[in-house]
Structure 1
């Protein structure tokens, strides 16, 4: 069968992916990193009054001529404003953030004044009207939209929403990702291994990537190579209301590869499997009712490469988050041979040359079963299908894993 190009596979996996229209309300303190599901209007005006931007004296500009001596009439501090109206020829001591008294139209900073015994202050530099005053509502006004739907709630947005007096926020819910490892040979970390057994490590790496992308992850454990075990795991994924079921291993068509058989027997509409990439050729994609299914290869590097390329963008799309943009331009650190019909993702190191340009150097070993190589890699060097031989110093694209 013809192998599907990577770009087409990604487009089909992302087709129709969008956040759930049913938002959830979260306390403000728990909303960091989530995405706003609807426009947010200010519940108050800020500042709610004309406020001083500096420490100094609130005065009338016509009184604040160089050399003028003004009588102190009182004090205005944050939370304790001056109760009254400023009189002609007078000044009110004022502090940053405090309300500007009625009758005052400028603030003279304290560096441009001298205190005089007897409760007066001398102006040493004339003040202009409106100086050092923050007008009421200059930041935002009650009833006006402050943040629009789709905004990532970063530190600045969280601060803003708190200032607008919102204690809870409508956010897109996190996609529910169920992860199922398959294979009689698999055991959990910490367990004693028998002959021919290995640790089910992929679950943890894929789960960490999914959480980092904004998902809620459910570990369905390890299913043995039996239809009954796989059926039970599918029941669990459906009960968890998973948006995406991620299977690891067993998606090929060998005698012991039962995942695809079990899913199709339950009614999965298979979209495709096998794509023109290395590592990661046996990738499966389909739908089981409302649940998307993504079958990752069992080899660790294959599984992680596919998770970076396909699962992470799917999660961010379902969460309403910006698409990850981690492909950067670099130059090769060593020569590479020509490529065949499959798109290669070579595990590589990253450094910078004297000009600051990224230099991507492929690891010497690229076997898809090697986990230390992937852990050491800082990037995936992307080699398009039929790419000609390339020399060190030539341009290339890399997907950055860690900078």
Structure 2
């Protein structure tokens, strides 16, 4: 039996396939004002109702001309002006030019715009000093950016700060989007203490909810924080029942390992079913996935790094599919040279925290130091994961490893 085939430890690739094969996108949609739609996933294609730009316009400050008028002279008097929002509408006599500004509508009959740097204003008019003039030079034609009827954003795209102004340029005021998935989450454990209170012997502060909530928001979902739940079976069961009545997904932190007071797994078996439990991943082995009567369930390990890592690697793609986000892609793996060694034992895919840089055009990476699943400072220092394969052992300096640069959800 191979080291990575130990009973009970499912490879993360298999776990991801099992999760995603069961998840169906939310069908409920909303119509929202564009200003309120940031972060939502489109429920239908955005089609452009207009051409952008809607008219031929100038790409430069300069002078609109007819090229034929410069065949016999290099100086043309100015017949008028065309500004953005104030086009030239008078009759345009032959043998004259029109002063024009960037974005202004091109006068009818114009076949080139000469930038003002290539001209000189004289008593006789404008002297054109450019030797060669190309037809349509410095003219942005109608529909140069977007044609009427173009699909500018497809169904399944998540609206970003770059998309909103682009849609606004089309005059579209409202968009149809998928309802954001609701994710209820809570921490479990008698040892956990709320922030701002003095620690008693054997207690620690509950930091996991402060890592989970921003990730849920950055994933494009609506968080529902149910707080800290003590290690009491009845209270835990009541919290699960409340959570699944409020949310599409229930995420817990802690309570899925093998300790005597870890009741989450037992309660899940009462209220639903467990799809899998315990993965060949480090940190994060006691990750659980299953289904309650009215919601999906993801049980994160209690250690802070393990909780954030499994949210990022495993829960993020699941929530993307639930939200209908068809444009979502997994973080790209990039080869990098190690500047120092990495400790590793065969058996589990290891996500170590690293700091990458580029030296002489090559990605290089070093460890953030302490790789304990309880040492969150290493996550704060990191800008990538060093992903070491299940069967791989210790890595020496100078070897090639695969790194995953953090995506926007971790920044």
Both proteins in one fold, TM over 0.5: yes
- Which residue, 299, 306, 311 being the options, matches 1:307? 311
Alpha-carbon distance in 2 for matches of 1:55, 1:392: 57
What per-residue deviation string (whole Å, max 9, x for no partner) do you get for residues 218-243 of structure 1? Answer: 11111122232113212331232x22
Alpha-carbon distance in 2 for matches of 1:143, 1:63: 37
* Closer, same or farther: CA 101–289 of 1 in aligned 2, 3 Å: same
Answer yes or no: is the 8 Å Cα contact 1:59–1:86 preserved in 2: no
* 1:184 and 2:219 matched: no
- Which residue, 316, 320, 342 being the options, matches 2:320? 316
SS in 2 for 1:275: coil
SS in 2 for 1:24: strand
- Which residue, 186, 190, 193 being the options, matches 2:199? 193
Alpha-carbon distance in 1 for matches of 2:305, 2:128: 73
Matched residues, number:
399
Alpha-carbon distance in 2 for matches of 1:131, 1:261: 73
Structure 2, unpaired ranges of 5+: 1-6
* 1:37 and 2:23 matched: no
Alpha-carbon distance in 2 for matches of 1:111, 1:322: 46
Shift of 1:105: 3.2
Answer yes or no: is the 8 Å Cα contact 1:220–1:236 preserved in 2: no
- Which residue, 286, 291, 297 being the options, matches 2:290? 286
When the two chains are superposed, the root-mean-square deviation of aligned CA atoms in Å is: 2.8
SS in 1 for 2:231: coil
* 1:250 and 2:252 matched: no
Alpha-carbon distance in 2 for matches of 1:331, 1:129: 52
Moved more, 270-279 or 65-74: 65-74
- Which residue, 360, 384, 390 being the options, matches 1:385? 390
SS in 1 for 2:31: strand
Q: Which runs of 4+ in 1 moved over 6 A?
A: none
**Normalising by the residue count of structure 2, what TM-score does the alignment of the two structures yield?**
0.86
Shift of 1:351: 4.8
Equivalent residue, structure 2, for 1:272: 276
SS in 1 for 2:67: coil
Alpha-carbon distance in 2 for matches of 1:277, 1:104: 66
Answer yes or no: is the 8 Å Cα contact 1:19–1:173 preserved in 2: no
Shift of 1:286: 0.2
Answer yes or no: is the 8 Å Cα contact 1:331–1:395 preserved in 2: yes
Answer yes or no: is the 8 Å Cα contact 2:181–2:222 preserved in 1: yes
Answer yes or no: is the 8 Å Cα contact 1:327–1:398 preserved in 2: yes
* Closer, same or farther: CA 145–191 of 1 in aligned 2, 3 Å: same
Shift of 1:99: 1.9
Answer yes or no: is the 8 Å Cα contact 1:339–1:383 preserved in 2: no
Alpha-carbon distance in 2 for matches of 1:116, 1:375: 64
Alpha-carbon distance in 2 for matches of 1:390, 1:102: 69
- Which residue, 257, 264, 270 being the options, matches 1:259? 264
Alpha-carbon distance in 2 for matches of 1:233, 1:164: 46
**Normalising by the residue count of structure 1, what TM-score does the alignment of the two structures yield?**
0.87
* Closer, same or farther: CA 54–265 of 1 in aligned 2, 3 Å: same
